Structure 1
């Protein structure tokens, strides 16, 4: 998926499958930012990505914990919910930079304001569509 590309996803199962297939295009230690309103499928996409790394447990939104670290056979997957984060400094205080460098994959929901602080990161926008969900790579 190149910047500017858009994909229409029909349902949650297809969204998880897309997440799994997306992993093949992400370099080790990749950082992926997910933007989209509530219910757009950010956590569903994350579930597909982390399952593709070999994690077999439950992957849920880290809304209250802010951050979850999932051990996988391919290395740790870091899942962050930055909805309540207002300044990049808060991410640095959580040691996000170091953790993302060590993790096989870092996924940050609601973090589009901080996207520029992570060179090489991907930014995907997820939107509701009459036919399912639309995913656009913004960067």
Structure 2
């Protein structure tokens, strides 16, 4: 059932920060660090992409029997509670937020070699960092 915008419930409710603001706040709070979109998704929407990447790396490095044994013993990253789910719409929206923040100069994007992140399926990766405050009067 909807609530009336004239109700005290509506009037006293807080407005949550939007994804652009949350993204910018996170990057501003972590200066001198550059993040891939997957890492930002892990931080901003509690995704589990880095756990999946770590499991993929172990699966490549360990023998099949070693991997199965670690899985059986619950010794893989994320443990038994790991479910590789992420809301792809929110993941896409983080990309849009980063694009918008890059366009106005608050975020800087660079393309780096995938070997830095031990990526299997990519040889390049985009990383993002806070670019500093922008003087809009001089733009």
Which TM-score band applies after superposition, normalised by the shorter structure? under 0.3
Higher helix share: 2
TM-score by length of 2: 0.25
Higher strand share: 1
Q: Greater CA radius of gyration, 1 or 2? A: 2
